[in-house]
Structures are given as C-alpha cells and as structure tokens.
Chain A
C-alpha cells in the first residue's frame, strides 16, 4: 500500500538529548514537510524539502535539523537546543502540481 509512515508513534526524550523522528514515503512525491502541532494552535512548518539533497527552513526551524539523502526519507532531529520540544509532530508529502498534502500518523514526543 502506498503511504507515508512515521515512527515511532510515541517517543520520550530526556532533557539534553537529541532524538530523530523517522518519515518514509512510497508515494514517489518529491516534496516532503515536517510540521509541529500544539494544543490550540494550527500546524506550524518546521522544515520542508522540494527535492533530494535540498531543504529549507520553515517558520520554526530553530532547534531542529533535517536531511534528505533519499527521495523516500526525510528524518527530523530534535536537538537539545529546542527548548520546548514536547509536541505532536506530523510529516507530510505532496505530489508536484497539487496542493493536497498527505500526512503520516504522527509522532508524539514527550520530554521527561
């Protein structure tokens, strides 16, 4: 089945640690995105990539890093520089020429 897969579903991080969230898609989409969702707020764009080996900062990129070495994969690293990382993280991909974003099931990150 075609789709976009995020893992893990739940992730716990100790303060000062870096963690990496996985996002894989087999939809053959060029563009991939990472969003953060907090209660009472709309989705906010962290990073996006329109093509392999290229990515751009979104509105809230500080404390995050990404890579796009393969078309299928767009992992997000939450670094210790992100002061308030507890949130629900959503990965999305989009086909060229369309505005519909296809979302993964999300990863809930909690700092303990």
Chain B
C-alpha cells in the first residue's frame, strides 16, 4: 500500500534555532517528492521538489534531502523565523504524474516561539 509517514507530528522550537522534519514513504513506482508549507487556514504551497536522482535541494533557508534507497526525505529549516510556523506536508507522486496518484503525508505542525 502506498503510504507517506511524517515525523514528528508536531514540533516547538525557539526562533533562530534549526530543525529537521522527516518523511518516510512506501510509494511505487516513485516519480518525485515535494514538500509543501501550509499556513493555518490556507492552502498548501510547494517549497521544493526532489526527483529520484537528486540528493539535496535548497530553497532559501529550507533544504530538502532525499535518499531513494531508504525511501526517506528530510526538510531542514535553518535559523527559524516566526513566519515558519505552519504545517509541512510531504507529498509523493507515483509515476505518471496524475494528481490522483499523489500521496499526502499527515504533516508536521511546526510552532516557532519568540
């Protein structure tokens, strides 16, 4: 069964600190993996996309990694800001690209405190 699991479920950190969110997946055949940021009461917005051949990709203070062998991805946030408080969702796309094959994780709720 195609599944995406994220950990931790929630996380509280102090402003300026770093944090790492985890995503494990069992999706086959794998096409790509995206991290989305969802602010409270808003729609998700894509942060990064990782394909099979990519190990690391950065988008500002966000750095995503992918280990296709172990089927794990991480999202590292550097020097956190209050505006980073949101839910971070890992989404894996099965081969073919049709959105009916997008598998969503349950998200990690991040709270950045001053």
Contacts and interface: CB of A to CB of B under 8 A. Distances in A.
A associates with B:
yes
Nearest to B96: A99
Contact of A105 (B42, B46, B106): B42
A18 to B, nearest CB: 24
Interface in B64-114: 89, 93, 97-100, 102-107
A58 B100 contact: yes
A42 B9 CA distance: 12
A108 interface: yes
12 contacts: A4-B43, A31-B98, A42-B89, A92-B99, A98-B97, A99-B49, A101-B46, A103-B45, A105-B42, A106-B41, A106-B43, A108-B41
B32 interface: yes
Given A31-B99, A40-B106, 14 more contacts: A33-B99, A40-B9, A42-B4, A42-B106, A45-B99, A45-B102, A50-B98, A90-B44, A99-B34, A99-B93, A101-B46, A103-B43, A103-B45, A106-B41
Interface of B: 4, 9, 31-32, 34, 41-46, 49, 89, 93, 97-100, 102-107
Nearest to B39: A105
A101 B100 contact: no
A100 interface: yes
Given A42-B4, A42-B104, A56-B100, A99 B41 contact: no
B32 A99 contact: yes
B60 to A, nearest CB: 18
A11 interface: no
B99 A104 contact: no
A84 to B, nearest CB: 18
Contacts of B4: 42
